[in-house]
Amino acid sequence: MRTMRTISSLSVSAVVVALASGVAPSPLLAQKQVLPTAVAPIDSADPVALMVARLDLEQYKTTLKELTQFGDRRQGTKRNRDAVDWIEEQLKSYGCTNTERIVYRYEPPTLAERPATPPPAATPPAAGQPPLRRVGPPATQASGGGRNRGLRTRTGVNSDSLLQPDPILRALNAEPSAPGERQEVYCTKIGTTHPEEMYIVGAHMDGIGWGEAVNDDGSGTALVMELARVFSNPDVQTERSIRFVLWNNEETGLNGARAYIEQRQQLQGIEEPKGSGKYPEPKWLGMIQHDMMMWDHGMPKADGTIAKEQRAEADVNIEFQISSKMWKASSELAWALHQANSKYATDYPAQVGPHMTNTDSGPFQDIIPAISLRENERGTQTGNGWNPHWHQPTDVWATFSDKDFRLGLNAAQTTLGGVGRLVGATLKSVIKM
């Protein structure tokens, strides 16, 4: 179980000011504080706390397990299309019945998918942005703008079907990707006071590597579906809207997220029909992405192996991109979720980092506040081989333990708590008269 942690009395905005000035925040904010006390009981007067309590480890695991029936869900295949249909059915069963789809075409240069590229090199801050700083001793910059820590192992995308020892799974994943039409599904919790404004909560449902894409990104897909389930309960009200999106084509270059922006950005805040109080595309207040939520076992050992158990200091990484046009507002959103983690997560703490990269929040980062929740720092830890199952045949259900699944659940608690506060969530049974 997670022990209670304290937070400095400084506000989130004070942390952002400290970051912007290049001065490290208070150690109480920059470091995890561990006290030998029990987890506080649920505050029955806090509707967000009651909603977070509706998240359940076994339910999260069940949703994730059911996703494995579609193999790696590679885009451009029947198994991917079947998974989109299944996700839509589940969303409707939760009460999120206003499901819609983005339809677009993906035409790669060749029939063969291009493998995922390594994270890009660090991008210097633009004029007027703060210098890249960190708390603690100096360290070298690594790919993606992160910090080089310890040993590295090779990473890449598996394209060899024979490396998958399970013949049933190997056969399921045998159909190659073909160019053409793509679809991705979303549904919306409509706000009662400001339906014209919304937060976007997303994860990508496609995967690669000849496994089951359990962690990348079934773990994020199940998380977003669980949030949709809780927020769609009929006794939940929110002042602002929330859109739950399951992106497609992330692995080929964030194409699904880019298609959404291309088709929907200009429709923001337009009432349709006039006078109806309905907004097919509410104004975007922020985008929160979830991509690989469960594996934080530490850096490779000297022999290149990785610990089999989740490390004791595992955490939920919340990242924004310091070089983006919206870096300041994005950092405020990141720290808001960090604060929610401190209040609502049960086991694992959160850590904020300024080097978001290579996921579906990227196309949004110069338009609106955009952040990504994940298991590791993308640019250094994942890029340096801390996760040996990334895009590999071993990204299957049997690889992960309850400690891993619980890290994903804690990310769900973090986002639900943060978004619940941001949208003014209440429960009808506890609305104060």
Q: What does 190-221 look like in DSSP terms, one character per residue?
A: PPSSEEEEEEEEEEE----SSS--IIIIIHHH
Same domain, 334 and 401: yes
SS3 329: helix
Same domain, 101 and 23: no
Q: What is the mean pLDDT of residues 59-65?
A: 98
The angle subtended at Cα 125 by Cα 138 and Cα 284, nearest 5°, is 120
Same domain, 76 and 31: no
Torsion of CA 244, 249, 252, 253, to 10 degrees: -40
Same domain, 365 and 404: yes
* C-alpha span between 250 and 93 (Å, rounded): 26
Going by their DSSP bridges, the two strands 316-319 and 240-247 should be labelled as unpaired
Confidence of residue 122 (pLDDT cuts 50, 70, 90): very low
* pLDDT at residue 153, rounded to an integer: 63
SS3 279: coil
* C-alpha span between 22 and 131 (Å, rounded): 6
* C-alpha span between 242 and 190 (Å, rounded): 7
Percent of the chain with pLDDT strictly greater than 90: 75
Confidence of residue 321 (pLDDT cuts 50, 70, 90): very high
* pLDDT at residue 29, rounded to an integer: 35
Q: What is the mean pLDDT of residues 39-59?
A: 88
The beta-strand segments (E) located in 388-433 are 426-427
Contact in structure between 395 and 206 (CB atoms under 8 Å): no
Same domain, 9 and 110: no
Mean confidence (pLDDT) of the chain: 85
Tell whether 123 is covered by a domain.
Answer: no
**Each residue's pLDDT tens digit, 167-180:** 999 999 999 999 99
CATH at 404? 3.40.630.10
**Each residue's pLDDT tens digit, 130-162:** 443 333 222 223 333 445 555 556 678 999 999
In single-letter form, the type of residue at position 247 comes to: W
Tell whether 122 is covered by a domain.
Answer: no
Higher pLDDT, 328 or 21: 328
Nearest to 61 by CA among 294, 265, 394, 326: 294
* pLDDT at residue 40, rounded to an integer: 53
Sequence-distant (≥ 6) Cβ neighbours of residue 179 within 8 angstroms: 76, 105, 106, 107, 108, 111
Tell whether 124 is covered by a domain.
Answer: no
In single-letter form, the type of residue at position 275 comes to: G
Cis peptide upstream of residue 216 (ω within 30 degrees of 0): no
Which residues are bridge partners to 183 per DSSP? Answer: 103
Torsion of CA 349, 242, 295, 86, to 10 degrees: 150
Tell whether 121 is covered by a domain.
Answer: no
Same domain, 147 and 269: yes
Q: What is the mean pLDDT of residues 305-315?
A: 94
Same domain, 35 and 49: no
Tell whether 380 is covered by a domain.
Answer: yes
**Each residue's pLDDT tens digit, 177-232:** 999 999 999 999 999 999 999 999 999 999 999 999 999 999 999 999 999 999 99
**Each residue's pLDDT tens digit, 412-433:** 999 999 999 999 999 997 555 4
Tell whether 182 is covered by a domain.
Answer: yes
* pLDDT at residue 44, rounded to an integer: 78
Backbone angles phi, psi at 266, to 5 degrees: -75, -5
Least confident of 58-67, 222-231, 288-297, 382-391: 382-391
Nearest to 4 by CA among 346, 407, 413, 337: 346
- What residue numbers bound the domain in which 224 lies? 41-116+141-430
Tell whether 51 is covered by a domain.
Answer: yes
Same domain, 32 and 146: no
Contact in structure between 3 and 36 (CB atoms under 8 Å): yes
Same domain, 320 and 283: yes
Same domain, 311 and 361: yes
* C-alpha span between 90 and 131 (Å, rounded): 45
Number of domains in the chain: 2
Same domain, 169 and 301: yes
Sequence-distant (≥ 6) Cβ neighbours of residue 168 within 8 angstroms: none
**Phi-psi sector, 133: left (phi>0), alpha (psi -120 to 50), beta:** beta
Please say if the pLDDT value at position 11 is more than 50.
Answer: no
Tell whether 130 is covered by a domain.
Answer: no
Please say if the pLDDT value at position 118 is more than 60.
Answer: no
Please say if the pLDDT value at position 123 is more than 90.
Answer: no
* pLDDT at residue 109, rounded to an integer: 76
Same domain, 151 and 15: no
DSSP 265: G
